[in-house]
Amino acid sequence: MGWAIMWIRRLTLSFLLNHRFSFLCLLSLLTGGLWLVHGIGIIISPLIIIILKQERDKVRRFLLAWIYFAIGSLGLIDAYQQYFHIHTFSAIAVLIWSTCACLLALPWCGYSQFPHLLGILLIEALPPMGLIGWLSPLSSLGYWFPGTSYWGLILGLILLYCCDKKHLSGMVILVFIAMALNLTYRPPTTPNNWLGVNTSLSPNDSLISLEESLQHIIASTPSDKNRLVLPESILPNWFYGTRLWTEKNLSNQLSLLMGTTTWQNHQPVDAIVLIDHGQALTEPVFSSVFPVPVSMWNPFKKRSYQASWWPTSFILDHMRINAIICYDQLLVWPWLSFFITRPTLIIALSNEWWATSSLIPDIQTQSRYAWARLLNIPLISARNISLSSSHCCRVKD
């Protein structure tokens, strides 16, 4: 029996030595692929640092990083095709997907030391590279060190250092710290009178359908809830007639924060408006830090959606509120900005009518959940998911 175990060890070692790069490619594929399984890849995303550290050749390291980012963002192809109603193979969608993966993999060619690692993560967290900076290992910190806020960033630096140096004992200690934090963590409670509402509406729904949905929401709202948060782009615009329409359909006892498109300097804005006790405010209270590139934000289009680049803070119910809208939730720098603005409540809106699969929405959900855990700030979310031609609404408990 002993000789059999010895030969198995020898064969395993021989395989790893002779097929080392293939094995690293497999690990990179698995690490990226787990992002596609309900977004759980976010938890082990720091593993990609250890994988890349094993390879000294720059070209091979680039390929390993490309596999990670390309596999993890596969949902981008389907999202592009659905958003632009392309029902056949789209070479443009594949080109955008592959190019983004290449851009995110490129900085990792220069990774060899810990300072390089910090520089790369910073480059991919902040604009301009941060405009497509999804699947970042930094997003995992909320799962490792929940409720720690600034201390979580420090613990995150230690985690990155241990991954870079392959410091096994340090990683074991951090795992025990993470387990203790997760066992004792209690999410901050949201205000009792606030409620996030999930809907299932199509962008082609008529105002009659929207009116029916709004009335259903109001009828389903518990009596102790008077602040409702509705998803992104629920209303097509915020012109005078739309404001009157919302005021007509709302009770004076309720206040709504809901997503719509407003116009500023002849350009659309992905915004959130407030209807406060039956009175619709003319100006939006929040706008998207960075709308979806290409489909919404496009500097080569005359009527491109505007980017605000920094979160707007709004005081309501004596609370400092920040909002994070749809695509912003996938990135790093909009969340890092909350360490500076320090809101007491975060509202997260999204509209996923284009999502025929849950690949990107699941990653989006895990990202906002992780960052809210790290920041230790109450989070209220509101999502819209299209269900073919049907429409309905669900008021969350």
10-residue mean pLDDT profile of the chain (397 residues): values are: 57 60 93 95 96 92 96 91 81 94 96 95 96 96 96 96 91 96 96 93 76 84 91 91 85 87 92 91 94 90 91 92 95 96 96 81 95 97 71 52
pLDDT of residue 188: 95
* Rounded-to-integer distance, Cα 115 and Cα 362, Å: 32
Give the DSSP H/E element, type plus range, for residue 97: helix 91-105
Cβ-Cβ contacts under 8 Å for 88 (sequence gap 6 or more): none
154 to each of 149, 150, 162, 166, 170, how far by Cα in Å? 9, 7, 13, 18, 14
Cα(352)–Cα(250) distance, integer angstroms: 25
CA–CA separation, 311 vs 111, rounded Å?
32
- CB contact burial 179-195 (16+ within 10 A = b; e otherwise): eebeeeeeeeebeeebb
* R_g of the chain computed on alpha carbons: 23
pLDDT of residue 4: 53
**Which pLDDT does position 6 carry in this prediction?**
65
- The structural domains of the chain, ordered by start, are 2-145+148-184 (no CATH), 194-395 (3.60.110.10)
Q: In this structure, what DSSP letter does residue 376 have?
A: T
**pLDDT tens digits, residue range 149-185?**
999 999 999 999 999 998 889 999 999 999 999 999 9
Distance CA 326, CA 351 (A): 7
pLDDT in tens, 280-323: 999 999 999 999 998 899 888 888 999 999 998 999 989 999 99
Residue 217's alpha-carbon distances to 64, 184, 199, 213, in angstroms, are 48, 36, 9, 6
The first and second tokens of residue 273, run together, are 């408006």
State the pTM of this model: 0.91
Q: What is the pairing mode between strands 286-287 and 255-264?
A: unpaired
Q: Quickly tell me which residue has 């980012």 as its tokens.
A: 69
Integer Cα distance of 144 and 50 in angstroms: 17
**Helix (H, G, I), strand (E, B), or coil: what is residue 300?**
coil
User: What pLDDT score was predicted for residue 5?
Assistant: 60
